[in-house]
Amino acid sequence: MMKGTRKGNLITGRYMITLTCITIAGCFLPLVLSSYMLRVMNIALISYMCVLSVYVLLGMCGQNSFAQAGFWGVGAYITANCLLKLNLGPIVSMIIAIAGTALFAFVLGFAFFRLKQYYFTFATIGLMTIFNGLFMNWKEVTGGALGISGIPPFAIFSFEFSNETSKFFLIIFCAFVVTFLMKILFNSSLGRQFMAIRDNELAAGCMGINPLLTKSKAFAIGGALCGLGGALYAYLSGYLSFQVFTYNQSTMYLIMIMLGGTINPIGALIGTMIISLLQEFVRPLQNYMQLIYGVGIMLLMIVQPEGILGGIKALYGKYNERKTLRRSEA
Amino acid sequence: MNLQLLFSGFSTGIIYSLIAMGMVLIFRSVGIMNFAQGEFLMFGGYFCYMFNRLLDLPIGLSLILASICMGFVGVVFMRTSYWPLRHAESKAIIVSAMGASIALKEGARLIWGAVPVTVDRASEGVVNIGTAVIMKQNIAIIVIAFMVMVLIYLLLEKTFIGNIMQATAQDQYMASLTGIPVIVSIGMTFAISAMITGIGGGLLAPLFFLNNTMGTTAGAKAFAAIVIGGFGSVPGAIVGGIIVGLVEAFGGAYISSTYQLVLIYVVLFIVLMLRPQGLFGEKIQEKA
């Protein structure tokens, strides 16, 4: 516990070094990957942002939500509407998407967090179904079953992020910033409030944390992350269809984070990358893929409920224990 | 009052009641919410389709055989996705149930195909009451579901097996001290829960087509029913299911057919605002 609460230097800390290394390594990907694989990478990184929202909710705050793909859709549709109907600039649209989704999630949080644990989780399944219904039927805003097409790419002043490589750099930059912000959140008082609620809500309440407000804040942060992911997705694909923002996608986010491990954002990254790339490399097995996921996730929960990162951490802990044991013997 | 809508709403509602009852039975027994309960409905419907359409058995027999098959599915589900995790965090159990739900969904697609199918009606034709035209299937659903509920009540309250299951639900450790095989008792609870939900699937199939994704929506509605009725209460689940069915039918006819689910959740939130413990629930203090 001591180690976790120690205040290290954020910029020169181990986390930051790991993060920078991964990002720099990632920046070389366009040199080796085909345009198609780059698109896969882009979508994986957008998924990573949504998975981070699950990380905030589940990993930090202990709340299991299945509505994240819905918020992702809300972000995407807000961006598309701001761009096409209100003729706002790309940056402004993106900011509105993030803020709008966060606000929306915050307000919904107040209603949904009146329900606790299982009840909340089930309610978010309902919310997700409602979202999908809205995306499919609300013609004025979401284009109904036809979707919205012709969304222009992201642009800063006159520079357009129109080809796959530039989009990749935009997305990886956003992913970097977001992951960095996660660390700040983790170390902040708000992050500790989240974790207090995760560990024991009643005790957290006794210490003067307002559970409803704090959980709604977590929901809002999750919403903001999904909103960012949605905005980037709108810029990336240029076309939005209700078929993307489904309940299955939400389940996928949960599988990704449980596979990687809920203890830190790197776990989310590992899980997202494994699942996204797996989908590409086992195309021949496409028909059985979902079944394999289903059975795989059950096995994973039985064998290693903490995910890959949790497994590595346990191994590392054992190794350290043995080392100290040997030292004390000597 | 539209009698036709009343009957169709009531009959779909009573099927939600069956799902909700299955969930409540499991919840009372082991304290977890089963996220794959909706998939039991879908699977039961498909079993019924298999016996009725592929093997050409009469619908009554198909329903019975389907529910027996569902009993086995319930036991397998319990043994694979609950029992190994009984000491784990609730998060792990939820995710494992999600995995099971995906596996069941895809299993159904691989076994029976993705094309929506249907089964025979338990009772053909219509009944005219005044101006209203009521499908006999709706009446059959209500009668059969009611019979199932009475049977479950008798089983739980009046028989030895029921006592064993209730004892296990109250205190697993104590039950094991008195010589009750806990795993058998829990397995039986899961089997019964899957059976009643499966029958619901077979009854629902002629009204709506069966497809492999119907379970999620049905599960979400049944959940709404449980919360409206009061958590952990079997009568609450039944009444809640009927309320959800009626809201769906009348709301769909008079307000908006595209936003039926939204309406259900609006009702859910109104109930939660006015009576947070649900209609039949008792106020439970949170334990430290």
Three-class secondary structure of residue B50 per DSSP: helix
Residue A284's pLDDT band (boundaries 50, 70, 90)?
confident
Which DSSP helix (H) or strand (E) runs through A152?
A: none
Q: By the CB < 8 Å criterion, does B84 face chain A?
A: yes
Summarised one tens digit per residue, pLDDT across range B161-187 is 888 888 888 888 888 899 888 889 999
Out of A119, A130, A298, closest to residue B265 by CB: A130
Residue A4's pLDDT band (boundaries 50, 70, 90)?
very low
> How confident is the model at residue B208, as a pLDDT?
82
User: Taking each helix axis from N to C terminus, what angle separates A117-137 and B260-274, rounded to the nearest 10 degrees?
Assistant: 150
Tokens of B59: 């619908």
Contact residues on chain A for B106, CB-CB shorter than 8 A: 288, 290-291, 294
Residue B288's pLDDT band (boundaries 50, 70, 90)?
very low
Mean of pLDDT values over A95-103: 93
Distance from CA of B222 to the nearest CA of A (A): 10
Q: Among B134-143, B237-246, B262-271, which stretch is predicted with the lowest mean pLDDT?
A: B262-271
Distance from CA of A8 to the nearest CA of B (A): 30
Mean of pLDDT values over B248-255: 85
Q: By the CB < 8 Å criterion, does B262 face chain A?
A: yes
| Chain B residues 220-239 within an 8 A CB cutoff of chain A | 220, 223-224, 227, 231
Q: By the CB < 8 Å criterion, does B256 face chain A?
A: no
Q: By the CB < 8 Å criterion, does B87 face chain A?
A: no
Beta bridge partners of B134: B127
- Choose the mutation target among B33, B76, B91 for the interface with A, i.e. most A CBs under 10 Å: B91
DSSP A55: I
A62/B91 Cβ within 8 A: yes
> How confident is the model at residue A221, as a pLDDT?
93
Instruction: Say how far apart CA A316 and CA A308 lie, in whole Å.
Output: 12
Out of B110, B220, B262, closest to residue A125 by CB: B220
Q: Does the structure show a pLDDT above 80 at B257?
A: no
Q: By the CB < 8 Å criterion, does B6 face chain A?
A: no
Residue A3's pLDDT band (boundaries 50, 70, 90)?
very low
Measuring CA to CA, how many Å separate B101 from each of A25, A73, B93, B191, B214?
A: 38, 24, 12, 16, 12
Tokens of A167: 């989009």
B88/A305 Cβ within 8 A: yes
Q: By the CB < 8 Å criterion, does B100 face chain A?
A: yes
Instruction: Say how far apart CA A230 and CA A72 lie, in whole Å.
Output: 5
Q: Residue B220 in contact with residue A247, Cβ under 8 Å?
A: no
Residue ranges of the domains in chain A? Answer: 9-281, 290-330
Q: Does the structure show a pLDDT above 60 at A308?
A: yes
CATH number of the A9-281 domain? 1.10.3470
> How confident is the model at residue A48, as a pLDDT?
92
Residue A11's pLDDT band (boundaries 50, 70, 90)?
low
Mean of pLDDT values over B126-154: 86
Out of A122, A251, A298, closest to residue B220 by CB: A122
- Choose the mutation target among B94, B212, B244, B248 for the interface with A, i.e. most A CBs under 10 Å: B94
Three-class secondary structure of residue A148 per DSSP: strand
Q: Chain B residue closest to A292 (CA)?
A: B103
Measuring CA to CA, how many Å separate B82 from each of A128, A200, A254, B67, B186?
A: 25, 24, 18, 21, 10
Residue ranges of the domains in chain B? Answer: 11-213
Q: Residue A51 in contact with residue A180, Cβ under 8 Å?
A: no
Residue B219's pLDDT band (boundaries 50, 70, 90)?
confident
Contact residues on chain B for A117, CB-CB shorter than 8 A: 90
CB proximity list for B207: less than 8 A, separation 6 or greater: B11, B12, B137, B138, B141
> How confident is the model at residue A1, as a pLDDT?
37
More confident residue, B200 or A307: B200
Annotate A163-183 with b (16+ C-beta within 10 A) or e (fewer).
ebeebbebbbebbbebbbebb
Q: Residue B117 phi/psi, 5° resolution? A: -125, 175
| Chain B residues 126-155 within an 8 A CB cutoff of chain A | none
* Percentage with pLDDT > 90 across chain A: 20
Quick count: other Cβ atoms within 10 Å of Cβ A207? 9
Q: By the CB < 8 Å criterion, does B176 face chain A?
A: no
At B177, the amino acid letter reads L
Instruction: Say how far apart CA A65 and CA A250 lie, in whole Å.
Output: 8
Helix spans in chain B (H): 3-30, 37-49, 59-77, 90-112, 136-158, 160-170, 172-177, 182-204, 214-229, 234-254, 260-274
Residue-level length of chain B: 288
* B12 CA to centre of own chain: 11
Strand pairing report for A239-240 and A148-149: antiparallel
- Choose the mutation target among A128, A301, A304, A306 for the interface with B, i.e. most B CBs under 10 Å: A301
Mean of pLDDT values over A125-149: 83
| pTM for the whole structure | 0.82
> How confident is the model at residue A8, as a pLDDT?
55
Out of B99, B219, B264, closest to residue A301 by CB: B99
Mean of pLDDT values over A207-221: 91
Contact residues on chain A for B103, CB-CB shorter than 8 A: 291, 294-295, 298
Q: Residue A195 in contact with residue A29, Cβ under 8 Å?
A: no
Residue-level length of chain A: 330
Strand pairing report for A239-240 and A159-160: unpaired
Contact residues on chain B for A287, CB-CB shorter than 8 A: 110
More confident residue, A139 or B46: B46
Instruction: Say how far apart CA A304 and CA A297 lie, in whole Å.
Output: 10
Q: Does the structure show a pLDDT above 70 at A242?
A: yes
Q: How many CB pairs under 8 A join A and B?
A: 120
CB proximity list for A238: less than 8 A, separation 6 or greater: A149, A150, A151, A152, A153
Least Cα distance to B90 among B155, B132, B37, B33 occurs for B33
Q: Does the structure show a pLDDT above 90 at A226?
A: yes
Out of B99, B217, B258, closest to residue A297 by CB: B99
Q: Chain B residue closest to A298 (CA)?
A: B96
B99/A290 Cβ within 8 A: no
Contact residues on chain A for B85, CB-CB shorter than 8 A: 301-302, 305
Q: Does the structure show a pLDDT above 50 at A224?
A: yes
CB proximity list for B177: less than 8 A, separation 6 or greater: none
Q: By the CB < 8 Å criterion, does B98 face chain A?
A: yes
Distance from CA of A305 to the nearest CA of B (A): 6
Q: Residue A153 phi/psi, 5° resolution? A: -70, 165
